Amino acid sequence: MKKKVIGIDLGTTNSLVSFYDGNSATVIEDKFGKITPSIVSYLDNGAAIVGHRAKDLLKSNPKRTIYSVKRFMGKSSTDIKTDFSHLPYKINTSEDGIVRIDFDNLSLTAPEISARILEQLKRKAETHFGEALTDCVITVPAYFNDAERQATQFAGKLAGLNVLKIINEPTAAALAYGLDKKENATIVVYDFGGGTFDVSILKLNDGIFEVLSTNGDTQLGGDDLDLALIDHIASQLRLTEEQKHTDHIFEYLRQVAEKTKIRLSEMEQIELFIKIPNTPIKGSLRITRSEFNEAISSIIKRTKRAVKQAVKDADLAFEDIDEVILVGGSTRVPFVREEVENWFGKTPHTHINPDEVVAIGAAIQGAILSGDIQETVLLDVCPLSLGMETMGGVVEKFIMRNSKIPCYATETFTTHVDNQTAVSIHILQGEREFATDCTSLGKFSLSGIEPAIAGMPRIEVKFQIDANGVLNVSATNLNTHHSQEINVKPHLGLTDEIVEQMLLDSFTHMKEDMDSRMLQDTKTEAEAVILATKRQLEDYSELLSSEEIESIHLSIKELSDAISNSTDRKLITGLTESLDKESQNFAEKIMNQTIKTVLEHKHIQDI
């Protein structure tokens, strides 16, 4: 039997998990729905709460509740150029180059936090199928660089997943839309998500999905639309910069802005009444859609620049595009849709839910890998050029952006002084001319060169980008034919020891988190039973004797105390069951009474 391969859309704001059932791809749903918010909240004992429950903790536990962690995947301290002071949690750009998120007693990297989200999605799929699942396809923004892709793969590993393939989000969307289409077409996918923007141009040719070019901005997304709106609201309220950036004020405004953005997608204008708790800040505002459009127009212009470049790189013009696909929650904003439609003169496809389309594509790619779908193949490209630092800090590119993958390039190195035994190589990714403006993927040294006259040794270094877009490097001494694999440090400064420790920690935390989550589930269920019983008491207490009422009140108190003070899941489950039993007896009495009331005053022939 073929192994199941799940598809995962690991988004900045929300994540989804999907599968292909032999006929179509479906997003897996649990009691909270299809979407799992990409939010992780760390409790005092270090355990992690993920998703909807973590979202509920954003206000009460802001410094330990992490959202938009995807923005930090694969980033080193030197990459953090955007101002993240607005985030309620603390970003630590340490001297060792590793970006960490710090709170009281914990210091975690982005892959470790993302791993919690992936674990949750894995569990969601496992609960759905009732079996253990490990094989998966994870989507990433097309414009993710090698470090960002490797960080995603690493997060998957930490979550106990076997990441068969990393695919680009716009490509996944095209797969979702194009599965039944076998005719030729040129497609543009405009993917504006919560925290990233991507555009890809694809050619569909008899079951082959060929990516022609890709472009984007990994630091631009729906969050930026919210920020633009926060600035607008703050300026209307005449808030100072200091006030605006106060943690709880900012969080309040962020939530208002998010809701306003959604409401303005349906209404021309909205009225807001703002009253920020524990502050004198309050006021009534009216925000129109055109004010919102104006606030975000510079952001949409930034996306157009990337679109133009992608079209140019594909050697096409705007009028050559046959189909336009919109992906990502931010494309629900009417102004975004109108603008894209104007650029291409085509009505964009939006019939697949933009929140789900990437996950659906990931499941389809999973089915291609497992062999469930045949005669469809995806030909992808690398989004950024790869090069190395040469004299004067200039970058010499050896694999150009939008090269079809897998691909390779070779460079031959030699020594510059007599008896030199090592050559240092600095690998970079990006389009800029100077090393300082590109992303450093790693430095390595070709050592063990036999002492010889300068220029005599010849070492051929092969740079390979695999079908996942991940870089592998190997070197061969052309004189001795001795080969060696080179490890280009994948996790931006994380040593092998740290990586090993993280893997160990992930297994330890998995147990803690599982316990925590189960306890949380038990408490939620208990609260639901208490609430239902209290409502019954309010409406039908006359059906019970005073002893029965007292007994139920006592059970409610015992269970409430256990919820507040105990971490003993068995105790809470036992108390819940006993209250539930009492409430069931009560429910029977209510039912009997209801039937009796209905039957009263009716003749037998009316029934």
Residues that bind another protein (CB under 8 A): 164-165, 205-208, 365, 368-371, 375, 377-379, 403-408, 433, 464, 466-467
Instruction: Write the burial class of residue 412 (CB in 10 Å: 0-12 exposed, 13-18 middle, 19+ buried).
Output: exposed
Q: Which CB, 34 or 165, lies closer to another protein?
A: 165
Cite the active site residues: 9, 70, 169, 191
Query: Distance between CA 33 and CA 14 in Å, rounded?
Result: 12
CB of 318 to another protein, least distance (A): 19
Q: Which CB, 286 or 404, lies closer to another protein?
A: 404
Tokens encoding 184: 């030729």
Q: Which CB, 179 or 326, lies closer to another protein?
A: 179
Q: Which CB, 205 or 243, lies closer to another protein?
A: 205
Side-chain-side CA neighbours of residue 555 (13 Å): 24
CB of 365 to another protein, least distance (A): 8
CB of 378 to another protein, least distance (A): 7
Q: Which CB, 86 or 182, lies closer to another protein?
A: 182
SS (H, E, C) 46-109: CCEEECHHHHHCCCCCHHHEECCHHHHCCCEHHHCCCCCCCCCCEEEECCCCEEEEEECCEEEE
Q: Which CB, 433 or 568, lies closer to another protein?
A: 433
Report whether 494 contacts 96 (CB < 8 A).
no
CB of 228 to another protein, least distance (A): 26
Phi, psi of 450 (to 5 degrees): -65, 135
For residue 159, the Cα-to-chain-centroid distance in whole angstroms is 14
For residue 292, the Cα-to-chain-centroid distance in whole angstroms is 26
Q: Which CB, 375 or 606, lies closer to another protein?
A: 375
SS (H, E, C) 500-565: HHHHHHHHHHHHHHHHHHHHHHHHHHHHHHHHHHHHHHHHHHHHCCHHHHHHHHHHHHHHHHHHHH
CB of 128 to another protein, least distance (A): 23
In angstroms and rounded to an integer, the radius of gyration of the C-alpha atoms of the chain is 28
Query: Distance between CA 22 and CA 370 in Å, rounded?
Result: 11
CB of 226 to another protein, least distance (A): 31
> In this structure, what DSSP letter does residue 429 have?
E
Beta strands across the sheet bearing 439-446: 395-399, 386-389, 423-429, 439-446
In sequence order, the 6+-apart residues with CB closer than 8 A to the CB of 264 are 270, 287, 289, 292, 333
SS (H, E, C) 8-26: EEECCCEEEEEEECCCCEE
CB of 412 to another protein, least distance (A): 11
